[in-house]
Structure 1
């Protein structure tokens, strides 16, 4: 696997080594020992999640606060999404900045998002299956986030955000300037 740093400290793009032959392909999607060796992060993932969405669905920007915060390792197994991480760590030199990565079933890339980041994605293909590992269990009371259309974040979602499909819960998320302290 190859580790590709991003401008946001701790956020990493991971390109697995893919072995192709006449039968198809094989790649190791996660190896804890190798991940720790290459990144310096010894992560204990405890929960795997999967979602299915159709074109134009936007999920995010989500995070878990406090003791329930989560680092995530995300990937797409079907389709194509634009995946976005926003630095919400107060005091960070990149606070309020975002980085986006195109994740597809063809490029097999993964995006590692450390604790303290908001996370979201938009589906660019007709449908997508999105998978992610978390290093902490989900806790409903710790749910938080920032509005996906925050003008101060100015995220380029590569789509008309007035036409995206968003949950009512995500529509109610605050802009970053009005958000509570996330505890990072």
Structure 2
């Protein structure tokens, strides 16, 4: 599996090696030890989400408050998306910047986003399907959003404004500056502290339990 760190610290691209023959294709979409070695700790899977989108649908910018926020491993079994990773961690050296990757059913790349990063996707094909492996279950009280059309962030889309389809919630989301003023953004310092806590917790050995006695 090929691994590339994106220009936003805490985000990586994973490209699997595909084995094709006359029967079809086989590949490993996710391996826990590969992610663990790259990120510094295991992805503690708590939930898997799937969404199906028509061409032009935009989902995001979404994030969750730290801690525990929600790390994501995003892949596409069908169709194609542009996947945006946005650094919304105040105090980060790349705060307000973003990177993007095309994830599709051809190269079958996956994207890992650490806790505290913003995320948005744009469907490039009809019926495009995306899977999210996530480290925490959905918590509506901690889920937040930012405007995908915020000029301060400046995401670049392949469609004109009137071609994009957004949910009412995403349309009403605040700008980066508004969220910062309201204290709704995670800080880089608290994210780094949380990442360190995950590495420490994973490094500690699990106590052995005595086998139960036979009745």
TM range (shorter): over 0.9
**Counterpart-to-counterpart distance in 2, 1:108 and 1:148:** 25
Aligned match of 2:12: 12
Q: Is the 8 A contact 2:11 2:111 kept in 1?
A: yes
**Counterpart-to-counterpart distance in 2, 1:34 and 1:177:** 36
Matches within 5 A, 1:31-180: 31-179=31-179, 180=182
Does 61-70 or 20-29 show the bigger shift?
Answer: 61-70
Unaligned runs of 5+ in 2: 188-215
Unaligned runs of 5+ in 1: none
Q: Is the 8 A contact 1:75 1:111 kept in 2?
A: yes
Higher helix proportion = 2
**Counterpart-to-counterpart distance in 1, 2:76 and 2:17:** 16
Q: TM-score, normalised by structure 1?
A: 0.95
**Counterpart-to-counterpart distance in 2, 1:47 and 1:134:** 5
Higher strand proportion = 1
Q: CA RMSD in A?
A: 1.2
Aligned match of 1:28: 28
Aligned match of 1:183: 186
Show CA shifts across 1:146-170 (max 9, x none): 1000001111022113321100000
Q: Could you tell me how far 1:17 is from its partner in structure 2?
A: 1.2
**Counterpart-to-counterpart distance in 2, 1:55 and 1:11:** 25
SS for the counterpart of 1:90 is coil
User: Matched residue pairs, number?
Assistant: 184
